Protein backbone atom coordinates (compact mmCIF):
# COMPACT_ATOMS: atom_id res chain seq x y z
CA UNK A 1 0.00 0.00 0.00
CA UNK A 2 1.32 3.47 -0.90
CA UNK A 3 2.10 5.94 1.88
CA UNK A 4 -0.05 9.00 2.45
CA UNK A 5 2.82 11.42 1.80
CA UNK A 6 3.13 15.09 2.62
CA UNK A 7 3.17 16.19 -1.06
CA UNK A 8 -0.25 14.65 -1.61
CA UNK A 9 -1.62 16.21 1.58
CA UNK A 10 -0.14 19.61 0.75
CA UNK A 11 -1.71 19.54 -2.72
CA UNK A 12 -5.06 18.41 -1.30
CA UNK A 13 -4.97 21.18 1.31
CA UNK A 14 -4.08 23.87 -1.24
CA UNK A 15 -6.93 22.84 -3.57
CA UNK A 16 -9.40 22.63 -0.67
CA UNK A 17 -8.50 26.11 0.58
CA UNK A 18 -8.48 27.67 -2.90
CA UNK A 19 -11.72 26.03 -3.98
CA UNK A 20 -10.27 25.01 -7.34
CA UNK A 21 -7.45 22.91 -8.77
CA UNK A 22 -6.05 25.92 -10.64
CA UNK A 23 -6.01 28.10 -7.53
CA UNK A 24 -4.53 25.32 -5.43
CA UNK A 25 -1.76 24.71 -7.96
CA UNK A 26 -0.80 28.38 -7.85
CA UNK A 27 -0.49 28.27 -4.06
CA UNK A 28 2.07 25.48 -4.16
CA UNK A 29 3.84 26.68 -7.32
CA UNK A 30 2.80 23.74 -9.49
CA UNK A 31 1.07 23.39 -12.83
CA UNK A 32 -2.62 22.54 -12.91
CA UNK A 33 -1.86 19.18 -14.50
CA UNK A 34 0.66 18.29 -11.78
CA UNK A 35 -1.84 19.19 -9.05
CA UNK A 36 -4.60 17.20 -10.76
CA UNK A 37 -2.30 14.17 -10.96
CA UNK A 38 -1.53 14.39 -7.24
CA UNK A 39 -5.23 14.54 -6.41
CA UNK A 40 -5.95 11.52 -8.65
CA UNK A 41 -3.16 9.55 -6.95
CA UNK A 42 -4.53 10.51 -3.55
CA UNK A 43 -8.05 9.45 -4.50
CA UNK A 44 -6.72 6.20 -5.94
CA UNK A 45 -4.91 5.51 -2.69
CA UNK A 46 -8.04 6.21 -0.62
CA UNK A 47 -10.35 4.40 -3.02
CA UNK A 48 -12.82 7.28 -3.09
CA UNK A 49 -12.97 10.90 -4.29
CA UNK A 50 -12.03 13.77 -2.01
CA UNK A 51 -13.51 16.46 -4.29
CA UNK A 52 -16.60 16.83 -6.45
CA UNK A 53 -17.03 19.39 -9.23
CA UNK A 54 -18.99 22.47 -8.26
CA UNK A 55 -19.51 25.09 -10.99
CA UNK A 56 -16.03 26.35 -11.91
CA UNK A 57 -14.44 24.92 -8.80
CA UNK A 58 -14.51 21.94 -6.47
CA UNK A 59 -16.02 21.12 -3.11
CA UNK A 60 -15.11 18.52 -0.52
CA UNK A 61 -16.80 15.14 -0.44
CA UNK A 62 -17.46 13.40 2.88
CA UNK A 63 -14.06 11.73 2.59
CA UNK A 64 -12.48 15.12 1.88
CA UNK A 65 -14.14 16.64 4.95
CA UNK A 66 -12.68 13.83 7.07
CA UNK A 67 -9.20 14.25 5.58
CA UNK A 68 -9.09 18.07 5.81
CA UNK A 69 -8.31 18.51 9.57
CA UNK A 70 -5.77 15.69 9.40
CA UNK A 71 -3.99 17.31 6.45
CA UNK A 72 -3.92 20.67 8.25
CA UNK A 73 -2.42 19.15 11.40
CA UNK A 74 0.22 17.18 9.50
CA UNK A 75 1.33 20.08 7.29
CA UNK A 76 1.33 22.51 10.21
CA UNK A 77 3.53 20.15 12.25
CA UNK A 78 5.94 19.52 9.37
CA UNK A 79 6.29 23.22 8.56
CA UNK A 80 6.82 24.15 12.22
CA UNK A 81 9.48 21.46 12.58
CA UNK A 82 11.30 22.66 9.47
CA UNK A 83 11.23 26.26 10.69
CA UNK A 84 12.61 25.28 14.09
CA UNK A 85 15.43 23.26 12.57
CA UNK A 86 16.42 25.80 9.90
CA UNK A 87 15.89 29.18 11.63
CA UNK A 88 19.02 31.20 12.30
CA UNK A 89 20.25 34.09 14.43
CA UNK A 90 20.11 36.65 11.60
CA UNK A 91 19.02 39.94 13.14
CA UNK A 92 18.45 43.61 12.34
CA UNK A 93 15.63 45.59 10.75
CA UNK A 94 14.44 45.39 7.14
CA UNK A 95 11.97 47.81 5.52
CA UNK A 96 10.34 46.23 2.49
CA UNK A 97 7.94 47.69 -0.07
CA UNK A 98 5.68 45.27 -1.95
CA UNK A 99 3.02 46.27 -4.50
CA UNK A 100 -0.67 45.63 -3.91
CA UNK A 101 -1.20 44.74 -7.57
CA UNK A 102 0.86 41.55 -7.54
CA UNK A 103 -0.13 38.11 -6.29
CA UNK A 104 -0.66 38.60 -2.60
CA UNK A 105 -0.47 34.86 -2.10
CA UNK A 106 3.07 34.80 -3.49
CA UNK A 107 4.33 37.91 -1.71
CA UNK A 108 2.66 37.17 1.63
CA UNK A 109 4.17 33.68 1.48
CA UNK A 110 7.63 35.23 0.91
CA UNK A 111 7.21 37.52 3.91
CA UNK A 112 5.79 34.75 6.09
CA UNK A 113 8.50 32.23 5.24
CA UNK A 114 11.24 34.84 5.73
CA UNK A 115 9.87 35.83 9.15
CA UNK A 116 9.68 32.19 10.22
CA UNK A 117 13.21 31.37 9.02
CA UNK A 118 14.71 34.58 10.41
CA UNK A 119 12.63 35.36 13.51
CA UNK A 120 15.11 37.89 14.93
CA UNK A 121 14.85 40.21 11.90
CA UNK A 122 12.35 43.02 12.48
CA UNK A 123 10.28 43.35 9.31
CA UNK A 124 8.52 46.59 8.40
CA UNK A 125 6.41 45.94 5.29
CA UNK A 126 4.68 48.58 3.19
CA UNK A 127 2.03 47.09 0.89
CA UNK A 128 0.66 49.76 -1.41
CA UNK A 129 0.48 51.06 -4.95
CA UNK A 130 4.17 51.07 -5.84
CA UNK A 131 4.39 54.44 -7.63
CA UNK A 132 6.23 55.99 -4.66
CA UNK A 133 8.65 53.17 -3.96
CA UNK A 134 11.53 54.57 -6.03
CA UNK A 135 11.40 57.84 -4.07
CA UNK A 136 11.12 55.90 -0.80
CA UNK A 137 14.32 54.01 -1.65
CA UNK A 138 16.09 57.24 -2.58
CA UNK A 139 15.07 58.96 0.66
CA UNK A 140 15.99 55.97 2.82
CA UNK A 141 12.41 55.19 3.87
CA UNK A 142 12.70 51.69 2.37
CA UNK A 143 15.64 49.27 2.19
CA UNK A 144 14.23 46.99 -0.50
CA UNK A 145 11.28 47.28 -2.86
CA UNK A 146 9.43 45.50 -5.65
CA UNK A 147 7.77 47.83 -8.13
CA UNK A 148 6.80 48.26 -11.77
CA UNK A 149 8.45 50.43 -14.38
CA UNK A 150 7.81 50.98 -18.07
CA UNK A 151 11.49 50.96 -19.10
CA UNK A 152 13.93 49.35 -16.61
CA UNK A 153 17.29 51.07 -16.45
CA UNK A 154 20.41 49.02 -17.25
CA UNK A 155 21.52 47.00 -14.26
CA UNK A 156 18.12 46.77 -12.59
CA UNK A 157 16.94 43.28 -11.70
CA UNK A 158 13.74 42.34 -13.55
CA UNK A 159 11.63 39.71 -11.79
CA UNK A 160 8.90 39.46 -14.40
CA UNK A 161 7.50 41.22 -17.45
CA UNK A 162 3.85 41.29 -18.48
CA UNK A 163 1.65 43.31 -20.77
CA UNK A 164 -0.95 45.69 -19.42
CA UNK A 165 -4.22 45.72 -21.31
CA UNK A 166 -7.67 47.26 -21.42
CA UNK A 167 -10.40 45.16 -19.87
CA UNK A 168 -14.17 45.29 -19.60
CA UNK A 169 -16.85 43.19 -17.93
CA UNK A 170 -18.18 40.22 -19.89
CA UNK A 171 -21.59 40.78 -18.34
CA UNK A 172 -22.07 44.51 -18.98
CA UNK A 173 -21.72 46.89 -21.94
CA UNK A 174 -19.77 49.96 -20.80
CA UNK A 175 -18.59 50.48 -24.40
CA UNK A 176 -22.18 51.25 -25.41
CA UNK A 177 -22.04 54.49 -23.42
CA UNK A 178 -20.89 57.77 -24.90
CA UNK A 179 -18.46 58.99 -23.72
CA UNK A 180 -16.99 55.65 -22.63
CA UNK A 181 -16.49 55.48 -18.82
CA UNK A 182 -12.95 54.72 -17.65
CA UNK A 183 -11.55 53.56 -14.30
CA UNK A 184 -8.05 54.81 -13.43
CA UNK A 185 -5.66 54.92 -10.52
CA UNK A 186 -5.93 58.19 -8.61
CA UNK A 187 -2.23 58.47 -7.77
CA UNK A 188 0.86 59.40 -9.71
CA UNK A 189 1.44 56.19 -11.67
CA UNK A 190 2.87 55.54 -15.12
CA UNK A 191 -0.09 53.23 -15.85
CA UNK A 192 -2.44 56.21 -15.42
CA UNK A 193 -0.28 58.35 -17.69
CA UNK A 194 -0.12 55.58 -20.32
CA UNK A 195 -3.90 55.13 -20.16
CA UNK A 196 -4.62 58.82 -20.59
CA UNK A 197 -2.13 59.13 -23.45
CA UNK A 198 -3.73 56.19 -25.27
CA UNK A 199 -7.26 57.50 -24.70
CA UNK A 200 -6.40 61.00 -25.93
CA UNK A 201 -4.74 59.55 -29.03
CA UNK A 202 -7.91 57.67 -29.95
CA UNK A 203 -10.91 59.22 -31.63
CA UNK A 204 -13.28 57.97 -28.95
CA UNK A 205 -14.62 60.40 -26.30
CA UNK A 206 -14.07 59.23 -22.72
CA UNK A 207 -14.69 60.34 -19.17
CA UNK A 208 -13.03 59.28 -15.91
CA UNK A 209 -15.93 57.62 -14.12
CA UNK A 210 -14.04 55.94 -11.29
CA UNK A 211 -10.73 56.40 -9.47
CA UNK A 212 -9.05 54.14 -6.96
CA UNK A 213 -5.76 53.86 -5.09
CA UNK A 214 -5.63 50.09 -5.57
CA UNK A 215 -5.77 47.47 -8.30
CA UNK A 216 -8.56 45.75 -6.40
CA UNK A 217 -10.64 48.93 -6.65
CA UNK A 218 -10.13 49.30 -10.40
CA UNK A 219 -10.84 45.60 -10.94
CA UNK A 220 -14.05 45.88 -8.90
CA UNK A 221 -15.25 48.79 -11.05
CA UNK A 222 -14.56 46.82 -14.23
CA UNK A 223 -16.32 43.71 -12.92
CA UNK A 224 -19.36 45.75 -11.89
CA UNK A 225 -19.59 47.25 -15.39
CA UNK A 226 -19.04 50.78 -14.10
CA UNK A 227 -16.15 51.40 -16.49
CA UNK A 228 -13.40 49.89 -18.60
CA UNK A 229 -9.91 49.94 -17.14
CA UNK A 230 -6.25 49.13 -17.52
CA UNK A 231 -4.92 46.05 -15.68
CA UNK A 232 -2.12 43.53 -16.08
CA UNK A 233 -2.74 40.29 -17.93
CA UNK A 234 -2.44 38.37 -14.65
CA UNK A 235 -5.61 40.10 -13.43
CA UNK A 236 -7.68 38.47 -16.18
CA UNK A 237 -10.61 36.43 -14.84
CA UNK A 238 -13.62 34.76 -16.51
CA UNK A 239 -15.61 37.91 -15.63
CA UNK A 240 -13.38 40.10 -17.82
CA UNK A 241 -12.75 40.37 -21.54
CA UNK A 242 -9.74 42.02 -23.09
CA UNK A 243 -10.34 45.01 -25.35
CA UNK A 244 -8.38 45.45 -28.57
CA UNK A 245 -8.13 47.48 -31.73
CA UNK A 246 -11.57 46.28 -32.87
CA UNK A 247 -12.99 47.97 -29.76
CA UNK A 248 -11.02 51.16 -30.32
CA UNK A 249 -8.27 50.42 -27.79
CA UNK A 250 -4.68 50.12 -28.94
CA UNK A 251 -2.09 47.68 -27.62
CA UNK A 252 -0.46 48.86 -24.40
CA UNK A 253 3.20 48.58 -23.33
CA UNK A 254 5.00 45.92 -21.32
CA UNK A 255 5.32 46.44 -17.57
CA UNK A 256 8.53 45.28 -15.87
CA UNK A 257 8.45 44.23 -12.22
CA UNK A 258 11.83 44.99 -10.68
CA UNK A 259 13.59 44.24 -7.40
CA UNK A 260 15.71 47.10 -6.13
CA UNK A 261 17.56 47.93 -2.94
CA UNK A 262 18.49 51.26 -1.41
CA UNK A 263 21.91 52.33 -2.67
CA UNK A 264 23.67 51.92 0.68
CA UNK A 265 21.56 48.98 1.88
CA UNK A 266 23.45 45.74 2.31
CA UNK A 267 23.97 43.00 4.83
CA UNK A 268 22.72 39.48 5.47
CA UNK A 269 19.07 40.45 6.06
CA UNK A 270 18.76 42.30 2.73
CA UNK A 271 20.55 39.51 0.88
CA UNK A 272 18.37 36.83 2.48
CA UNK A 273 15.17 38.64 1.52
CA UNK A 274 16.40 39.16 -2.05
CA UNK A 275 17.11 35.43 -2.29
CA UNK A 276 13.64 34.57 -0.96
CA UNK A 277 11.95 36.90 -3.46
CA UNK A 278 13.96 35.60 -6.42
CA UNK A 279 13.18 32.01 -5.44
CA UNK A 280 9.45 32.74 -5.19
CA UNK A 281 9.26 34.40 -8.61
CA UNK A 282 11.39 31.67 -10.18
CA UNK A 283 8.83 29.12 -8.97
CA UNK A 284 5.93 31.09 -10.49
- Architecture of domain 161-252 in this structure: 3-Layer(aba) Sandwich (3.40)
Position 188 scores a pLDDT of 67
Position 88 scores a pLDDT of 60
Boundaries of every domain in the chain: 6-86, 92-150+256-283, 161-252
Q: In this structure, are strands 254-261 and 206-212 parallel, antiparallel, or unpaired?
A: unpaired
Which of the residues in the chain have pLDDT under 70? Answer: 1-2, 83, 86-89, 101-105, 187-188, 283-284
- Residue 242: Cβ-neighbour burial (10 angstroms; 0-12, 13-18, 19+): middle
Q: Number of helices and strands (H, E) in the chain?
A: 9, 11
Rounded to two decimals, the pTM is 0.64
Position 179 scores a pLDDT of 95
Position 8 scores a pLDDT of 92
What fold does the segment set 92-150+256-283 form as a domain? Answer: D-Maltodextrin-Binding Protein; domain 2 (3.40.190)
Q: Do domains 92-150+256-283 and 161-252 have the same CATH topology?
A: yes
Position 171 scores a pLDDT of 93
Closest C-alpha to 190, from 250, 159, 230: 230
Position 284 scores a pLDDT of 56
Amino acid sequence: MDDLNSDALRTFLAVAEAGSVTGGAERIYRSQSAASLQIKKLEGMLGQPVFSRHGRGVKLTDAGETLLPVARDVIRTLDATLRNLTSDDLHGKLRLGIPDDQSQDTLSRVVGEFAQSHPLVELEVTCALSAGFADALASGALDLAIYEVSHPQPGLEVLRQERICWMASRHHEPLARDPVPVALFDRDCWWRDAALEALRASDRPFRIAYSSQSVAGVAAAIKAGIAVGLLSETCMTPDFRQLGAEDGFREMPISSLILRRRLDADGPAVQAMETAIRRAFART
